[in-house]
Amino acid sequence: LPAAVLLKDTKLMDVKLGQLGSWLAMRDFTPGGILGAIRRGQERYYNKYINVRKGSLGGLSMVLAGYVILSYMWSYSHI
């Protein structure tokens, strides 16, 4: 039998629609909790796309594309 996973430890993709409200109620929406979530996301992105053994241009090209789009928006603010 698989071990029971607490709802708090369940990933968003694994939460059933009926459990969504109680799952959201267990989240930490304080500034420290939000900052921690941002840091975990940044670390996950870095480890998945930038800090890899068999590297590709995927992660670096996404960062470069983001920079190009932002600089375009800043240069042409009338659009």
Q: Record the tokens describing residue 39, joined without a space.
A: 């840091």
The domains of the chain are located at 17-76
pLDDT tens, position by position, for the chain (79 residues)?
455 667 777 888 888 888 888 888 888 889 999 999 899 989 988 888 878 776 667 777 888 999 999 998 888 876 6
* Strand, coil or helix: 47: helix
Q: Are 16 and 8 in contact (CB under 8 A)?
A: no
- Compute how many other C-beta atoms are within 10 angstroms of the C-beta atom of residue 2: 4
